[in-house]
């Protein structure tokens, strides 16, 4: 592997590729059920598609900067792109090996055969011919193009095509229909199941040239395009309208990758390159099939369960049985940890608020929302019931813009006050503030989370959500919403850490305090869990803390630009990354504070964009029971020696291995919450008996 870093920092995009390698490791891990391994191949492929559409396009924009200015930049785009291509090629090769040498044989052992058109039996050929003629043929988009010059043939972003050379002067492009399942299952034969890509059904039926005089060979190609929305002037006019108008341009953007079947002959590669107007550096060699993300829908025709056993979300021990969510929050702060616990109490909170005559106003931020959403329906109901409803919608949430526009229009039509994106800053916080009349006074209830108000992702992402009626925290939330509504400039929070106002400064103060404590011989440690660690200023401070003797334990799922374990720089910093059935998404920050431990959760990673260019909210955990619950979960993750990888100097992604009892943190966390429910039910039974 090439060197991914200078002496102090990994390059963020190369570090991300090492994260995607961890996804690939899960596909190779035989401890995972077969169809889970297939799913990880799909995740790897989907991740890589987005990487080329977003990150590679960003690097290419740097190349457009004038050379004198570009020379001053630390990032050298050509060098980075070269290393990216090298790393991707290595991973694609590993991907192909896992698929061909592990997955396909494992499927055969289950009597499931994934076959190509070259393996069709006589009966299967007839079935393939019938399916083609009755279903596929009328949906095909076929074009014949000249082989000479830069013809700039347009192909759709991320769509699948088959390319074949018909003659020295002409080649053919066939768009694979995207409104049909990617896989076709043949009838069962002698206890065996046979599945093929529809690519192969097309190849079989199209192998004769249009004139019929010879057989032709088709090769898969796919073009990825720049996914960025370039707004000429973000600071004037209606930003929402500008983004809406820019969305169609995304699918026509500059090429960032042309993925081709590596068996395509070199002369034909040159023809395709010229016709599609891409550079040689854009071409990435792939396998026979592209869009492996379609393996999310790979059929299992057998009667054998080849997936993980379900872990249905558990009921919350307090909120699920509470007659009123508000009463439960009045009693004490409540913490949820989904998907281990159900997302339902959050929906119930909004549904109860919509119907409660004591509730006067609801304020909420929406970053990524489910397409069909009971939570959003509750917001609509609140507006219909005459509540003062304010919804801040971030329309710059990449790939969710259209859905956010849809819900924004619905909210507006029902009478809610909808505020859209601000220029140059994203609203990434996941917060809600509800005002309610209690005993003649206005009382506020707050919700602060690490994840979105999204029922769909709540079943896949691990996140914390805090419900509180703490006076200072809810006052801070109220002030922040005044900022979002343009009624206040600076919120001056008492408890919350809010970027870009106080978050960076407060984190830096707490790290400096740990440094001061270590120098005085006091207990000093930092435990932090996040998605990504990229901010250089924070990394420098962590290096300083390590040199001072502060013990630092980091749980970083994705990008990690910090280099741990370097003598004289980061020898007291230990970093692991957990990748398992759920996507680790929570952000938790813990500071030793000389025995009086401080804990925070919220929406911000330690990335420059989160600390400087977004509105983020991080809350202290003030309730002792909530503090203990979160600490217990973090301790479980620190002990993970099944799915945790060590982030070392070379980012080799070695699994944590030791002689201690095996701990797979996600399963252990589920058991932790299940045990808490059983314990509570046991107490109830005991009290009834007494």
State the Cα–Cα distance between residues 172 and 276, nearest whole angstrom.
13
In terms of Cα–Cα distance, which of 444, 544, 545 is closest to 496?
444
In the CATH scheme, what is the code of domain 1-110?
Answer: 1.20.58.310
Q: How many helices (H) does the chain have, and how many strands (E)?
A: 20, 27
| pLDDT for the residue 230 | 46
| pLDDT for the residue 75 | 57
Q: Where are the alpha helices (DSSP H) in 530-582?
A: 536-548
- The domain made up of 499-689 has a fold known as Endonuclease; Chain A (3.30.870)
The alpha carbon of residue 341 and the mean position of all alpha carbons in its chain are separated, in whole angstroms, by 20
Confidence bin at 234 (pLDDT 50/70/90)? very low
Average pLDDT over residues 466-495: 96
| pLDDT for the residue 215 | 85
Give phi and psi for 184, each to the nearest 5: -120, 130
Top pLDDT among 245 and 291 is at 291
Q: Where are the beta strands (DSSP E) in 357-480?
A: 359-366, 388-393, 417-419, 426-427, 430-438, 441-449, 461-468
Q: Report the side by side order of strands in the sheet with 112-114.
A: 112-114, 193-197, 183-185
| pLDDT for the residue 280 | 84
- Sign of the CA dihedral 625, 626, 630, 633? positive
Top pLDDT among 302 and 154 is at 302
For the record, the structure tokens of 574 come out as 């230990």
| pLDDT for the residue 686 | 61
| pLDDT for the residue 368 | 86
**DSSP state letter for 531:** S
| pLDDT for the residue 422 | 78
| pLDDT for the residue 253 | 62
pLDDT greater than 90 at residue 252? no
Top pLDDT among 520 and 407 is at 520
pLDDT greater than 80 at residue 232? no
Alpha-carbon distances of 490 from 447, 482, 483, rounded to whole Å = 21, 9, 7
Contact criterion met (CB below 8 Å) for 501 and 491? yes
Per cent of the chain over pLDDT 70 is 89
Q: What is the mean pLDDT of the chain?
A: 89
pLDDT greater than 70 at residue 463? yes
Average pLDDT over residues 14-31: 96
Active-site residue list = 428
Average pLDDT over residues 433-461: 95
One fold for 1-110 and 325-493: no
Contact criterion met (CB below 8 Å) for 622 and 614? no
| pLDDT for the residue 667 | 98
Per cent of the chain over pLDDT 90 is 71
Confidence bin at 179 (pLDDT 50/70/90)? very high
pLDDT greater than 80 at residue 61? no
When mean pLDDT is compared across 33-37, 64-68, 605-609, the lowest value belongs to 64-68
- What SS3 state is found at 296? helix
10 Å Cβ neighbour count for 690? 5
State the Cα–Cα distance between residues 657 and 643, nearest whole angstrom.
10
**pTM as predicted:** 0.91
Average pLDDT over residues 547-567: 96
| pLDDT for the residue 7 | 74
When mean pLDDT is compared across 67-71, 77-81, 318-322, 521-525, the lowest value belongs to 67-71
Average pLDDT over residues 17-36: 97
Taking only the tens place, the pLDDT of each residue in 358-395 is: 999 999 999 888 888 999 999 999 999 999 999 999 87
- Length of the chain counted residue by residue: 690
- What SS3 state is found at 683? helix
Confidence bin at 211 (pLDDT 50/70/90)? low
| pLDDT for the residue 235 | 43
Cis before residue 109, ω within 30 degrees of 0? no
| pLDDT for the residue 58 | 72
Average pLDDT over residues 622-646: 98
Q: Which residue has the tokens 């919700």?
A: 447
Contact criterion met (CB below 8 Å) for 111 and 300? no
| pLDDT for the residue 152 | 64
- Sign of the CA dihedral 579, 581, 585, 591? negative
State the Cα–Cα distance between residues 73 and 71, nearest whole angstrom.
5
pLDDT greater than 60 at residue 237? no
Q: Which residue has the tokens 């890509």?
A: 197
Confidence bin at 175 (pLDDT 50/70/90)? very high
Confidence bin at 405 (pLDDT 50/70/90)? confident
Thinking of the domain 325-493, which architecture would CATH place it in?
Answer: 2-Layer Sandwich (3.30)
When mean pLDDT is compared across 163-172, 412-421, 546-555, 621-630, the lowest value belongs to 163-172
Nearest-Å Rg of the Cα atoms of the chain is: 27
Average pLDDT over residues 178-182: 93
| pLDDT for the residue 144 | 84
pLDDT greater than 50 at residue 290? yes
- CA angle, residues 350, 352, 353, in degrees to nearest 5: 60
Confidence bin at 169 (pLDDT 50/70/90)? confident
- What SS3 state is found at 45? helix
Taking only the tens place, the pLDDT of each residue in 312-348 is: 999 999 999 999 999 999 999 999 999 999 999 999 9
Confidence bin at 539 (pLDDT 50/70/90)? very high
CATH of 118-299, one of 3.90.1150.10, 3.30.1840.10, 3.40.250.10, 3.40.718.10: 3.30.1840.10
Domains of the chain by residue range: 1-110, 118-299, 325-493, 499-689
| pLDDT for the residue 236 | 46
């Amino acid at each position: 592997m090439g060197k991914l870093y200078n002496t102090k920092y990994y390059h963020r995009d190369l570090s991300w590729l090492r994260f995607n390698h961890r996804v690939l490791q899960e596909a190779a891990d035989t401890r995972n059920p077969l169809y889970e391994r297939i799913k990880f191949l799909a995740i790897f492929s989907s991740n890589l598609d987005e990487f080329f559409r977003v990150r590679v396009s960003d690097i290419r924009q740097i190349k457009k900067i004038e050379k004198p200015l570009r020379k001053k930049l630390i990032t050298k785009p050509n060098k980075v792109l070269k290393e990216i291509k090298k790393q991707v090629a290595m991973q694609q090769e590993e991907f192909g090996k896992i698929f061909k040498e592990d997955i396909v044989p494992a499927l055969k052992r289950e009597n499931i055969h994934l076959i190509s058109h070259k393996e069709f039996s006589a009966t299967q050929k007839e079935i393939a011919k019938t399916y083609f003629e009755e279903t596929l043929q009328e949906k095909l988009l076929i074009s014949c193009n000249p082989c000479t010059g830069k013809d700039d043939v347009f192909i759709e972003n991320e769509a699948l095509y088959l390319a074949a050379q018909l003659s020295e002067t002409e080649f053919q492009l066939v768009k694979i229909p995207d409104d049909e399942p990617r896989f076709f299952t043949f009838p069962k034969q002698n206890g065996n199941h046979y599945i093929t890509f529809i690519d192969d059904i097309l190849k079989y039926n199209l192998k004769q040239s249009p004139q019929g005089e010879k057989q032709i060979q088709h090769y898969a190609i796919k073009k990825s395009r720049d996914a960025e929305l370039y707004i000429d002037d973000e600071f004037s006019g209606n930003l929402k309208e500008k983004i809406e108008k820019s969305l169609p341009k995304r699918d026509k953007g500059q090429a960032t990758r042309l993925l081709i079947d590596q068996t395509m002959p070199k002369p034909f590669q040159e023809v395709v390159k010229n016709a599609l107007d891409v550079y040689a550096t854009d071409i990435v060699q792939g396998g026979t099939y592209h869009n492996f993300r379609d393996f999310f829908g790979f059929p299992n025709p057998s009667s054998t369960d080849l997936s993980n056993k379900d872990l249905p979300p558990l009921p919350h021990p307090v909120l699920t049985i509470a007659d009123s969510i508000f009463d439960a929050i009045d009693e004490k702060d409540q913490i949820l940890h989904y998907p281990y616990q159900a997302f339902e109490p959050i929906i119930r909170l909004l549904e109860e608020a919509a119907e409660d005559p004591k509730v006067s106003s609801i304020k909420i931020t929406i970053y990524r929302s489910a397409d069909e959403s009971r939570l959003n329906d509750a917001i609509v109901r609140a507006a219909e019931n005459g509540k003062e409803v304010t919804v801040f919608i971030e329309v710059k949430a990449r790939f969710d813009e259209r859905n956010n526009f849809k819900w924004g229009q619905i909210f507006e039509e029902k009478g809610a006050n909808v505020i859209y994106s601000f220029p140059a800053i994203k609203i990434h916080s996941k917060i809600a503030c509800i005002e309610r009349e209690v005993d003649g006074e206005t009382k506020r209830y707050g919700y602060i989370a690490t994840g979105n108000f999204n029922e769909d992702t709540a079943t896949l992402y691990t996140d914390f959500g805090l419900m509180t009626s703490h006076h200072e925290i809810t006052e801070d939330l109220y002030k922040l919403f005044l900022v979002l509504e343009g009624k206040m400039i600076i919120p001056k929070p008492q408890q919350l850490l809010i970027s870009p106002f106080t978050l960076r400064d407060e984190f830096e103060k707490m790290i400096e305090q740990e440094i001061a404590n270590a120098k005085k011989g006091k207990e000093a440690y930092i435990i932090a869990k996040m998605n990504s660690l990229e901010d250089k200023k924070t990394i420098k401070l962590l290096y300083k803390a390590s040199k001072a003797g502060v013990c630092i334990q980091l749980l970083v799922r994705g990008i990690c630009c910090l280099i741990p374990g370097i003598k004289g720089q980061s020898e007291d910093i230990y970093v692991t990354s957990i990748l398992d059935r759920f996507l680790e998404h929570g952000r938790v920050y813990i500071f030793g504070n000389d025995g009086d431990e401080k804990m925070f959760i919220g929406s911000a990673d330690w990335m420059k964009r989160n600390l400087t260019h977004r509105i983020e909210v991080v809350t202290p955990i003030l309730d002792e029971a909530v503090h203990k619950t979160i600490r217990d979960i973090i301790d479980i993750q620190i002990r993970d020696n099944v799915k945790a990888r060590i982030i070392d100097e070379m980012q080799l992604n070695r699994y944590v291995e030791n002689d201690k009892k095996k701990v797979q943190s996600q399963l252990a966390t589920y058991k932790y919450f299940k045990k808490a429910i059983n314990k509570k039910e046991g107490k109830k039974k005991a009290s009834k008996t007494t």
